[in-house]
Amino acid sequence: MKVGILALQGDITPHRRAVERLGHHPELVRYPQQLDIIDALIMPGGESTTIQKLLDRWEMVEPIRRRAGEGMPIWGTCAGAILLARSIRGSDQPTLGLMDTQVERNAYGRQVDSFEAEVTVEGMEGSMRAVFIRAPIITHVGPSVRVLATHEGAIVAAAEGHLLATTFHPELADDDRLLQTFLDSPEGLWTGKAAAS
């Protein structure tokens, strides 16, 4: 599988290392034409407004939407989860609008309020260490979205078919189980009855 990592801004290197640990050679995606040579795309954390502006500048919004429509698996972590969402609570910031979710940016506060916690992800044995850095939360999901993990009542991971959103950073905890599941399930993640919002 040719795994692409959106490499416009953000924590690109930890994702690259995680993909390499699983035996894949990642493609660092900076141009629209690269989207046609990859089988899956990871959108890393960073500054969502900056990444969105760079996507617009490099004319990558519609190509990403097209590949998503073709069934390409896409995983957004933190800022990537914001970009995947249908809307942002209290903001008119544009997004890719690929997942039927609403998110709230910086839900836990500023950079100094970043923290780590143990979360349980549906379908995974045991808990995993989740790193939250200026993290969003998912405030609403549509009927086709499956909630995979919560923290203190807030949704922090969800899937909709071949799309995955996590508001935390598994790549910073050196826990590759979620990435492995993402790469092993190109036809759709955690299929079955979707969770209610």
What pLDDT digit, counting tens, does each position of 103-149 carry?
999 999 777 678 999 999 998 899 999 999 999 999 999 999 999 99
Catalytic site residues?
78, 169, 171
CB 41 within 8 A of CB 182: no
3-state SS assignment for residue 46: coil
Rounded CA separation 20/126 (Å): 24
What SS3 string covers the chain? CCEEEECCCCCHHHHHHHHHHCCCCCEEECCHHHHHHCCEEEECCCCHHHHHHHHHHCCCHHHHHHHHHCCCCEEEECHHHHHHEEEECCECCCCCCCEEEEEECCCCCCHHHCEEEEECCCCCCCCEEEEECCCCEEEEECCCCEEEEEECCEEEEEEECCEEEECCCHHHHCCCHHHHHHHHCCCCCCCCCCCCC
The confidence score (pLDDT) of residue 193 equals 34
pLDDT-derived band at 195 (thresholds 50, 70, 90) equals very low
| Tally of residues, the chain | 197
- pLDDT at 121 (0 to 100): 95
Q: 154 near 138, Cβ under 8 Å?
A: yes
pLDDT digits (tens, 9 = 90+) for 32-63: 999 999 999 999 999 999 999 999 999 999 99
Task: State how far the Cα of 81 lies from the Cα of 157, in Å rounded to an integer.
Answer: 9
Give mean pLDDT, residues 62-70.
Answer: 97
Express as a percent the part of the chain with pLDDT over 70.
93
Say whether pLDDT at 184 is over 90: no
| Average pLDDT, rounded, for the chain | 92
Does 187 have pLDDT greater than 80? no
Check pLDDT > 90 for residue 196.
Answer: no
What 3-state DSSP class applies to 186? coil
Which pLDDT does position 112 carry in this prediction? 63
Percentage with pLDDT > 90 across the chain? 85
pLDDT in tens, 1-14: 899 999 999 999 99
Per-residue confidence (pLDDT) for residue 8, from 0 to 100: 97
The domains of the chain are located at: 3-184
91 DSSP assignment: B
Note the pLDDT of residue 192.
42
Fold of 3-184: Rossmann fold (3.40.50)
* Whole-number pLDDT of residue 114: 87
